[in-house]
Amino acid sequence: MKSIAFFIFPGFELLDFAAVTVFEMANVLSGARLYQLTMLSQAGGAIASSAGPVVETRAAADAPCPLDTVLVFGAVGSLPTGAAAVDMVRRACMAARRAGSICTGAELLAATGLLDGCRVTTHWARADELQRRFPRLKVAPEAIYVRDGKYWSSAGMTACIDLALAMVEQDHGAELVLQIARQMVIYHRRASSHSQFSTLLELAPRSDPIQKALAYARAHLRRQLSVDELAGVANLSRRQFTRRFRDETGQSPAKAVESLRLESAREMLENTRHTLDYIAREAGFAQVEQMRRAFLRVCGTPPQSLRRAA
């Protein structure tokens, strides 16, 4: 049995507890006590989340030994940066086999100095600040989660689920992780290098016709998807559609479709073993070279490099 400690502080983000559920489900679905889960804080007692609900914790000095894994929760506001909190986290992480942070918990873990020279990630809105405060880090602002040696870090909010699933997979294999993902009704398990950003979310169309056209495009990427075809789906004239599309998304239809193609191709590169020819065809690129040029122009790296990273 592996002992996992979660360090929480006043104002912690309640959604980070989704990571706890992943380890809980590992116990439930395996029929064995694979993980012992402990909530820790500096002095112990009740700790209030940013949303209000309170969690009972044990004092860090009473943590079960030895700790296999230490995870530092993030917070909506600022995490403690005093010497006592930093030293507590440093000692626990140094003694553990594996340590990591969720969301802005990376800021506290970075303050220990243990992440110096490491590649890390955090919530996209705090990535620049993390890099500024801790210049020795190698911050990957788009990654869902990152592993560098024994140290792990995740992006914000639901990314803690991806991090926890990856840890369980490291411990007990992919079959158990698939069972957990199904039990938790996870639509799509994201690879570590998967972007924190969603094309459809970023485009954020306001009206039903434009939403309908984008949903159609996402479901039919193998088609040519001309402006006339998309305008027909939206039941608008070509001129009306083009104007409304740009007003609502800030992009032309062609640019948005390319972004959807790149997102689809990237998901297949990271999560499947399909050939580049197959991926290019399924994502709607005329040929592999067209896909390669699009990746270089938008992502600054060829598709082969993304596959190797994944």
- Retrieve residue 278's tokens: 């197959």
User: Which pLDDT belongs to residue 166?
Assistant: 93
Is the predicted pLDDT of residue 298 greater than 90, yes or no? no
Q: How far is residue 160's CA from residue 203's CA, in Å, rounded to a whole number?
A: 25
Q: Are residues 131 and 62 in the same domain?
A: yes
Q: Is 110 helix (H, G, I), strand (E, B) or coil?
A: helix
User: Which pLDDT belongs to residue 154?
Assistant: 95
* CA-to-CA dists, residue 228 to 208, 235, 237, 243, 283, angstroms: 17, 10, 8, 13, 20
- Retrieve residue 101's tokens: 């942070």
**Assigned domain for 12 exists:** yes
DSSP H or E segment with residue 46: strand 45-48
Q: How many domains does the structure of the chain reveal? A: 2
**Assigned domain for 279 exists:** yes
Which of these, 250, 248, 186, 263, lies nearest to 217 by C-alpha position?
263
Q: Are residues 149 and 219 in the same domain?
A: no
Q: Are residues 26 and 73 in the same domain?
A: yes
Q: Which domain holds residue 227?
A: 199-309
**Assigned domain for 134 exists:** yes
Is the predicted pLDDT of residue 38 greater than 90, yes or no? yes
If phi > 0 it is left, if psi is from -120 to 50 it is alpha, else beta; for residue 26 that is alpha
What mean pLDDT do residues 23-33 have? 96
Q: At what angle do helices 174-183 and 159-172 cross, to 10 degrees?
A: 140
Q: How confident is the model at residue 141 (pLDDT cuts 50, 70, 90)?
A: confident
Question: pLDDT over 90 for what percent of the chain?
Answer: 70
Amino acid at the residue 165? L
If phi > 0 it is left, if psi is from -120 to 50 it is alpha, else beta; for residue 69 that is beta
Q: Are residues 122 and 174 in the same domain?
A: yes
Q: Are residues 81 and 214 in the same domain?
A: no
What mean pLDDT do residues 184-212 have? 72
Q: Are residues 260 and 119 in the same domain?
A: no
Q: Are residues 72 and 144 in the same domain?
A: yes
User: Which pLDDT belongs to residue 108?
Assistant: 95
- Retrieve residue 308's tokens: 């190797």
Domain boundary among 124, 154, 183: 183
- Cβ atoms of 41 and 59 within 8 Å: the answer is yes
Q: Are residues 237 and 140 in the same domain?
A: no
Q: Are residues 104 and 210 in the same domain?
A: no
Count of residues in the chain = 310
- Cβ atoms of 103 and 155 within 8 Å: the answer is yes
Q: Are residues 133 and 243 in the same domain?
A: no
**Assigned domain for 188 exists:** no
User: Which pLDDT belongs to residue 268?
Assistant: 86
- Cβ atoms of 47 and 41 within 8 Å: the answer is yes
- Retrieve residue 34's tokens: 């694979």
